Amino acid sequence: MKTESPIPKTLSEAIDFIAGYIEAFPSSVEMPLADATGHVLAQDLTAPANLPRFDNAAMDGFAVRSADLAGGGTGVQLRIVSTIAAGQTGQHEIGPGEAARITTGAMMPKGADRVVMQENARLEGNQVRLFTASTDKAHIRRAGDDIAQSDLILEAGTIIGPGQIILLAALGFQSVSVTPKPKVALLSTGDELRDAPAPLIPGQIYDSNRPMLSMMLKAAGAEISDLGIIGDDPDHLLRTLVGAAGDHDLIISSGGASAGFADHLTRAVSQRGHLEFWKLDMRPGKPIGFGDVDHCPILILPGNPLAAAAGCAVLGRPLVHCLAGRKTRQDGWLRLPVSRSFSKPLGRTHILPGRLVTDPSKGMTIADPLPERGSASLHTLSQATVLIMLAGHQANVDAGDVVDVLPLWQA
């Protein structure tokens, strides 16, 4: 699948390219509410009922008629004719000179148009004396004040989290229509890689990218097929990619992305598809590539762990989000002051692993780059919580300048 768009060279062009390239799933599945967290809503939802469902008391106290409080209203004595707890329906209509004892959330009785807090009342047998003014707050939550029946409550493309679950639960939804999770095939390449507990001979290392990428992509909403480690054998690699392309929505690889004699990925993609872009003007992550194998999109991440993590955060996650139909593309990016100054070549995006810290002088959150250890540093990755983005157009960044910051491990 070759597109006519210009070939992306910068990270932001690559992000835009991917958003234009990927089409969200047209299909949907019905998901029980209890399992829906992390899924993306497939259709707009409207409210089947008002919220609150009925006029109810916002405070524990006494439901009364405002007219009885007229003329200053302090020290007014009313007769208690009923008690209404949350969950009960008030049977009595409150008449002149009458009050109902009521709890927070209980349905307002007919006739009453305000609640006097019990802190402003004194019980005197079956009477209550009220110390309040008719200008005080009414303390009633009106039906439909929060959400009106038929209101659009959640748009297709919304990611379902606890904030959406509480609303859906309150409206009585038991299930929702969501897009299926994108099926992502994940592989590592390199003859040097082994999975623990296999013993290592000199020259070999354990595959650490794959477990990290798997967690990052699952958190982003992907269903992962682990294709394991593929050695530096071009035929085996091509067979693996073609096999995965048939029943996955996306392939993500790490390693073998650059131009060394054992780097076969870009060639494999060119044989069975199209390499849309390769090599971005960014550090780390320069050899990142993107294209398709038999029409299945593939993101080729570099082997260096920091480059793999950064590439997954800036391009892998958005790819999964696009496939799942997630609406907001710039999800998660923050604008924060950076803790120290930097100089870098104009035109190139620099991604610095860092942490969020509090600026002691201002008490504000700022982004603090970790000491430079190179893009193979697992120590750095284990300490980092954010990626600090120094944009291509910035040659000099001073301490306090506001930069783009992306939480590294977020969903």
Where are the alpha helices (H) located in 227-348, listed in sequence order? 234-246, 265-272, 305-311, 317-323
The distance of closest approach from Cβ of residue 296 to ligand MOO in the complex, given in angstroms and rounded to an integer, is 24
Taking the complex as a whole, the smallest distance from the CB of residue 314 to ligand LQZAQKY5 amounts, in Å, to 14
Q: Interface with ligand MOO includes 307 (CB under 6 A)?
A: yes
Number of residues near ligand MOO (by CB under 6 A): 9
User: Which of 28, 164, 209, 304: binder of ligand MOO (CB under 6 A)?
Assistant: 304
Sole window of 52-60, 143-151, 176-184, 279-287 interacting with ligand MOO (rule: CB under 6 A): 279-287
Q: Which does 193 bind (CB under 5 to 8 A by kind): ligand MOO, ligand LQZAQKY5, none?
A: ligand LQZAQKY5
In the complex with ligand LQZAQKY5, the residue whose CB is nearer, 108 or 268, is 268
- Least Å distance, CB 376 to ligand LQZAQKY5, is 6
102 strand-pairing partners: 61, 84
The item of ligand MOO, ligand LQZAQKY5, none sharing an interface with residue 325, based on CB under 5 to 8 Å by kind, is none
Considering CB distances under 5 to 8 angstroms, the limit depending on partner class, which of ligand MOO, ligand LQZAQKY5, none binds residue 190?
ligand LQZAQKY5
Interaction partner, residue 117 (ligand LQZAQKY5, ligand MOO, none; CB < 5-8 Å by kind): none
**Subset of 209-238 contacting ligand LQZAQKY5 (CB under 6 A):** 209-210
> Which of 180, 302, 316, 369 lies at the binding interface for ligand MOO (CB under 6 A)?
302
Query: Does 380 interact with ligand MOO (rule: CB under 6 A)?
Result: no
Q: How many residues bind ligand LQZAQKY5 (CB under 6 A)?
A: 26
Q: What's the closest the beta carbon of residue 204 comes to ligand LQZAQKY5, in angstroms? A: 9
* CB contact set of 19 (below 8 Å; sequence gap of 6+): 318, 322, 329
- In 3D, which of 105, 79, 106 has the Cα closest to residue 94? 79
171/286 Cα distance (integer angstroms): 49
Q: Which of 295, 346, 326 shows the shortest CA–CA distance to 411?
A: 326
Please state, in angstroms and rounded to a whole number, the distance separating the CA atoms of residues 189 and 107. 64
Task: With beta carbons less than 8 A apart as the criterion, state whether 270 and 1 touch.
Answer: no
Find out whether 102 and 54 touch, Cβ atoms under 8 Å: no
Q: What span, in angstroms and rounded, lies between the C-alpha atoms of 256 and 263? A: 4
Calculate the CA dihedral of residues 342, 343, 348, 353 and round it to 10 degrees.
-20
The entry of ligand MOO, ligand LQZAQKY5, none near residue 263 (CB within 5 to 8 angstroms by kind) is ligand LQZAQKY5
Instruction: Confirm or reject binding of residue 40 to ligand LQZAQKY5 (CB under 6 A).
Output: no
Point out the residue whose Cβ comes nearest to ligand LQZAQKY5: 303
The mark string for 133-172 relative to ligand LQZAQKY5 (x by CB under 6 A, - otherwise) is ----------------------------------------
Residues between 297 and 336 with contacts to ligand LQZAQKY5, criterion CB under 6 A? 302-305, 307
Q: How far is the CB of 306 from ligand MOO (least distance, A)?
A: 6
Q: Residue 138 has which token pair?
A: 């009414």
Question: Which residue's structure tokens are 């260096």?
Answer: 304
Residue 30 to residue 179: CA distance in whole angstroms: 9
Q: DSSP of 179-209, one letter per residue?
A: PPPPEEEEEEE-TTEE-TTSPPPTT-EE--H
Contact partner, 254, from ligand MOO, ligand LQZAQKY5, none, Cβ < 5-8 Å per class: ligand LQZAQKY5
What gap in Å lies between CA 225 and CA 231, rounded to an integer?
18
Q: Does residue 283 interact with ligand MOO by CB under 6 A?
A: yes
Residue 285 in the binding site for ligand MOO (CB under 6 A): yes
Strands 296-301 and 250-254: parallel
Contact 116, 61 (CB under 8 A): yes
DSSP 3-state assignment of 360?
coil
Look up residue 409 and give its DSSP letter. S
Whole-Å CA distances, 256 to 64, 139, 312: 76, 66, 16
Q: Which residues bind ligand MOO (CB under 6 A)?
A: 283-287, 302, 304, 307, 375
Q: Which residues bind ligand LQZAQKY5 (CB under 6 A)?
A: 188, 190, 192-193, 205, 207-210, 254-258, 260, 263, 284, 286-287, 302-305, 307, 375-376
